[in-house]
Structure 1
Amino acid sequence: MMNTNAPMAGSEKLTVSIIGASGYSGAELTRLLLRHPHAELEHLYAFSQAGNRFSELYPAITCDKTLEHYSGQCESDLYFLALPHGEALKLLPALEKAGKAVIDLSGDFRLRSTLEHEAFYKQTKPETACLTYGMPELFHERIIGARSISNPGCYATSILLGLAPLFLSETENRVTQVNCTAVSGISGAGRSSKTELSFSEMSENMRAYKVGIHQHTPEIMQTLGTSVTDPSFDFTFTPMIGPFTRGIYAGLTLRLEKPEQAETIESLYRDFYRTAPFVRVREQMTEVRHVVNTNFCDIHIASSSKTGSVVIVSAIDNLLKGAAGQAVQNMNLMFGFDETEGLL
């Protein structure tokens, strides 16, 4: 595919702006883009925090910009939308009409089925509101040259990268069942103040939430070639929140039609991800601390049995590989930069 988003000529940089820069994902985007060699960060937009200096909200990030109120400006080459679900739907048409590239970090454009979107997000959207799904390890060629990208969800990233080789490789051994328990750090719930996320509520505590109704469920099923309404395998997802700031730790228990040795599965995974710079198939058990503050996804094939069950563990940083880091990775592919630029 021809890359219609070719890099700028000479020393000219790609101009970028962030709408929703005051949240955790927006702050991580700001940090990454400030140091990106091919990007010039022009505007940081916010709503309730407009008028405040960015460095007042995030003193650890050296940035003297003031958060501005967004009122339809279309000055930059690329816009990152780091907004609550439902807001990007309102902004995308005008940005696309102005010829701007967009990477949306919300769930507004991930699902092809409007019925599933309404059921899981409790919002309606036009049938045409579906963008290129930006998971570089699975859809590398589609992302290159795309003008608008829907960035994957954080749980979906950790789970899909842990499952994809067994679903998307040329293998006759079918997966019949997946049980997933994934624990997210508190930052996954966003920056807004909520009593149930306070220190006194979450310290030395853990709890499940949205069991059976989490919005990343149809995203996972769609990417694996099926749907929640007519699934080709049994899928159970239990999201949990744990007493740590950032990271997602996913335990995937699969049932295969035919037993498979752990070594054979690990070999399949290494071959599947051989050209993926941010996926590491680990011989040893991975941990959240191995990936925090990085754009890596670590995967470990924990065990397999004679009955066909397999246990796979994956870990990511929910704010980087699960959000801002993956968004910059998508930007790099869209505009012809090295995929790892600004991320290592």
Structure 2
Amino acid sequence: MLRSVAVVLIDGVAPFEFGVVCEVFGIDRTEDGVPPFEFRVCGERPGEPLRTNVGVQLIPELGLDALKDADLIAVPAARLREHYPPAVLQALREAHANGATLLSVCSGAFLLGEAGLLDDRPCTVHWHHAAAFTERFPRAEVDPNVLYVDDGDIVTSAGTAAGIDACLHIVRRELGTGPATAIARRMVVPPQREGGQRQFIEMPVPTNAAMSLQPVLDQMLESLDVEHTVADLARRARLSERTFARRFVAETGTTPVRWLTAQRVLHARKLLEETSLAVEEIARRSGFSTAALLRHHFYKDVGVSPNAYRRTFSNSTPTSA
């Protein structure tokens, strides 16, 4: 269970990326049904101001000893440098060895790499830093194209928005879709973007509303239990299939099939948490033709079976297995 979250700051920290972690984990949202987090802001020298990369200062309240028993330790972006504070690197190693999950936002991955924690592990970093990161940490298995990588006890993310995605992903992974959706709603951001989506989207904001595929996306969300072919979707968008597929990837960062499957799994998670419907019925309502197909995609995306997920997060008693 995710109860305590610590953020470690170093000189040159990026306040926006630090703010992302604060927004997700540092604000009391119990009135929205989100369990409270014990939130700790840590530094090598507590009480001493640290410069940021934008000309203001931040003062960590706690020292590195506060990392020792934290459930999650977040490392926000900071100015790149040749050497990182040895005490901070050692504290990260020790906390990880003690069972903490580590999260990096953008160039925060360089601290994890310098600590030797990304050797022979899949990870990501902002595309702008990918070449430098790969050269500096050749043993890290870097994918510079994705939003975030969940490797269990280490989660790495790309730029600022991807950091939001990774934080919400961790909340969803540990606490379920309800708290993650509640936080996303308060932040006015999408409740879920899959980690495998592209970092660089060619056309993130259409030049005018008429060009956007959002109406088609909304229709898909409203009818997840209906079969949607690319041909049907292209017809609704009044585009050729080829143009629609290209525009879909450009606007969402993924393909229609992958996007729709991810939304169906997300809906199944919500039904597993909030209803007592049998898995077969949840499969039907989520747009999967059979319970077996739901189990396949659910395990692939979530890492556990629907029944195991329900046992952890459900507020209801299922009518059948």
Quickly name the TM-score band, shorter chain normalised: 0.3 to 0.5
Higher strand fraction: Structure 1 or Structure 2? Answer: 1
Task: Normalising by structure 2, report the TM-score.
Answer: 0.36
Structure richer in helix, relative to its length: 2
Q: TM-score, normalised by structure 1?
A: 0.34
Of structures 1 and 2, the one with the larger relative CO (CA 8 A, separation 6+) is 1
